[in-house]
Chain A
Amino acid sequence: MLQDWFDGRKSSFSEVQGFAYTVGTYPGVLKFMSSVRLLVGTRKGAFVLTSDGKRKDWKITGPHFAGWEMYHLKGSLVNPNRLYASQSSGWFGQQIQRSDDGGETWKPMNNKFVYDGTPGTHQWYDGTAHPWEFKRVWHLEPSLTDPDTVFAGVEDAGLFKTTDGGESWNELPGLRNNETGPHWQPGAGGLCLHTIILDPTNPDRIVIAISAAGAFRSDDAGKSWKPINKGLWSKYIPNPTAEVGHCVHHIAMNPKTPNTLFMQKHWDVMRSDNAGDNWTKISGNLPTDFGFVIDVHSHEPETVYVVPIKSDSEHFPLDGKLQVFRSRTGGNAWEPMTKGLPQQNCYVNILRDAMAVDTLDECGVYFGTTGGQVYCSPDAGDSWSAITHDLPPVLSVEAQTLA
């Protein structure tokens, strides 16, 4: 996406000259000299992984914010050296960090996330009313057009926004105040807003997902929201087709087809072709359709990736074999991608924000594991290799394609 953005915006080369792998000064070779920067958040710090377009030799820097839980890092599309990071600790709470030089140096920003007005209650695990309490930021989604505007998805579920580069944060309270809010219930990982999708063709449209409330959409830039969970079926809630209560693990979208959404639910892989109004199951021949991550090929909107996990009770790959499943048909027909991945004794998990794609001509696919590996496929999933084996448990992976 970043590559496309560069091409479309004619962004200046100087914006990324500070980047170690951007070499040469001839605009004609930019495509050839493209490079990739991975932003990896782990339980014990953040790491920045960089490579040229071949994606074979990687340089790793970090840990940044050593010892802290780094839930998510993401860069701005319009200024790729502007990065935002969510830094969290059970001891010291939430911090937001910002970099203006591609992750070499960072500055702590405002960390005050205060719900608008007097927050009401959501349901606790046992169905009793529980007051909304801010715990952490799970996901940071920079605006597609303004490097100073970022959305933050938080636990307990809420959506915040900065328009001054992180100097201040304000809640978009329409989501939390949705009439279904008092019925939202946390999953075991907390009542977290973990997915934020911005529509490049419609600045008023935002799709978000909350565990375990479900997916929601705004068509007025975040003022009002509606649940978009029709077609989901979840046996762990009293009414399996309820309007809310579904444990959506992650949603992915190819920016070229913003009305098509792919969802990894607790169980079930789903798709929607009308921006979430209705969902259909596309698990097809997957050996298990439990999992956390899901992503879409950068150039082929019907090529989808998931990593099946054995079950909700056993969060590791089936039979100890780490397999990425790829569908080239928008779901239902899936093929295992195993070349270069461990096919025995592998019992790691891949968490919901820990898969990403780059936008090079041959789409790169990346994912991180709770065992500290970060895997790279430079050929759209055909073959894989570990960039690194021994990081702390990986919470999130984002890929930046730099011109």
Chain B
Amino acid sequence: MSVQRVRVELPLHLMRLANLSGHETTLDIAAPVTLRAVLDELERRFPALEGTMRDHVTKKRRDFLRFFACEEDWSHQSPDAPLPNAIANGTEPLLVIGAIAGGSF
């Protein structure tokens, strides 16, 4: 089974929670690279991120977050669908994007 080096870009607050600097991190993921595999590995490496992107139990994505891959919104795709090759081979980062506040906070 091949292992792929995947890049993930996280919002500032999640980078801080994970005690990471910069704005992205890399993960080694066994193929096939899916959204579920990336998020599972992200939470395994950084337990403080559990529950911050998806519900602890239902694994439902939190309302104010979306997942973008290669300029496409993957928020509503099956979490078990293989991500695009450019994500799987690290050419492009998977983006975890928070909704803009719109001035409400």
Interface pair A114/B64, CB less than 8 Å apart? no
Q: Inside 8 A of A92's CB, which chain B residues have their CB?
A: 11, 13-14, 17, 52-53, 62, 65, 98
Which chain A residues border B52 with CB–CB below 8 Å? 92-93, 95, 111
A interface majority secondary structure: loop
- Which listed residue (B12, B17, B53, B105) contacts A90, Cβ 8 A? B105
Q: Tell me which residues across on chain B come within 8 A of A95, comparing CB atoms.
A: 17, 48, 52
CA distance A92 to B98 in the complex (A): 9
- Asked if B62 contacts A93 (CB within 8 A), the reply is yes
* Given contact pairs A43-B105, A114-B56, A114-B57, A90 touches B64 in the complex (Cβ within 8 A): yes
Q: Is the CB of A91 within 8 A of B56?
A: no
Task: Give A70 to B102 CA distance when docked, in angstroms.
Answer: 20
Q: Is B92 part of the contact surface with A, judged by Cβ < 8 Å? A: no
Do B13 and A68 have beta carbons less than 8 Å apart?
Answer: yes
CB–CB A91/B62 < 8 A: yes
Q: Please, how many angstroms separate the alpha-carbon atoms of A185 and B62 in the complex?
A: 24
What 1/0 flags go to A58-96 for Cβ under 8 Å of B? Answer: 000000000110000000000000000000011111110
Per-position contact with A for B56-69: 1 when CB-CB < 8 Å, else 0? 11000010110000
Q: Is the CB of B13 within 8 A of A112?
A: no
Residue contact B11 to A91, C-beta cutoff 8 Å: yes
* Set of chain A residues within 8 Å of B98, measured between Cβ atoms: 91-92
Decide: B48 and A108 in contact? CB cutoff 8 A. Answer: yes
A91 to B51, CA, bound (A): 11
Chain A proximity of B48: nearest CB distance (Å): 4
- What residues of A have a CB within 8 angstroms of the CB of B105 in the complex? 43, 90
B28 within 8 A of A: no
B99 at interface by CB-CB < 8 Å:
yes
1/0 per residue B14-44: CB within 8 Å of A?
Answer: 1001000000000000000000000000000
Contact A111 B62 (CB under 8 A): no
Residues on B with beta carbons closer than 8 Å to the beta carbon of A114? 56-57
CB of B9, distance to nearest CB on chain A (Å): 15
Q: Are the CB atoms of B17 and A94 closer together than 8 Å?
A: no
The CA-CA distance from A68 to B105 in the complex, in Å, is 10
How many of chain A's residues have a CB under 8 angstroms from any CB in B? 14
- In the complex, what distance in Å separates the CA atom of A67 from the CA atom of B62? 18
Nearest-neighbor residue (CB-CB) of A107 within chain B: B48
Scan B70-104; emit 1 where CB is below 8 A from any A CB, else 0: 00000000000000000000000000001100000
Smallest CB-CB separation from A392: which chain B residue? B105
B62:A112 contact, CB within 8 angstroms: no
B51 touching A93, Cβ below 8 Å: yes
| Min distance, Cβ B19 to any Cβ of chain A, angstroms | 9
Alpha-carbon distance between A89 and B56 when the two chains are bound, in angstroms: 15
A91→B48 contact, CB < 8 A: no
| B12 contacts across to A, CB distance below 8 A | 67
The residues of B that contact A112 with a CB separation of less than 8 Å are: 50-51, 56
Are B13 and A111 touching (Cβ within 8 A)? no
Contacts of A93 in B (CB 8 A): 51-52, 62
Docked complex Cα distance between A373 and B47 (Å): 35
B11 partner residues in chain A, CB cutoff 8 A: 91-92
Chain B residue at minimal CB-CB distance from A112: B56
Query: Are B13 and A67 neighbours in the complex by a CB distance under 8 Å?
Result: yes
Q: How far is the CB of B46 from chain A (nearest CB, A)?
A: 9
- The residue in chain A whose Cβ has the minimal distance to the Cβ of B99 is A91
Name the A residues within 8 Å of B14 (CB-CB): 92
Docked pose: A68 CA to B57 CA in angstroms: 23
Residues of A within 8 A of B50 (CB): 111-112
Give B11 Cβ to nearest chain A Cβ, in Å.
7
A108-B48, A112-B51 known; A91-B17 Cβ under 8 A: no
The residue in B14, B17, B62, B65 that gathers the most chain A C-beta atoms within 10 A of its C-beta is B17
Which residues of chain B come closer than 8 Å to A68, judged between CB atoms?
Answer: 13
Other A-B pairs beyond A67-B13, A91-B98, 10, CB < 8 Å? A90-B64, A91-B64, A92-B98, A95-B17, A95-B48, A108-B17, A108-B48, A111-B52, A112-B50, A112-B51
Which residues of A approach B to under 8 Å, CB–CB?
43, 67-68, 89-95, 108, 111-112, 114
Q: Can you show 15 pairs from A to B with CB atoms below 8 A apart?
A: A43-B105, A67-B12, A67-B13, A91-B13, A92-B13, A92-B53, A92-B62, A92-B98, A93-B52, A94-B51, A95-B17, A95-B48, A108-B17, A108-B47, A111-B50
Q: Which 5 A-B pairs have the closest CB atoms?
A: A108-B48, A92-B52, A91-B64, A91-B98, A112-B56
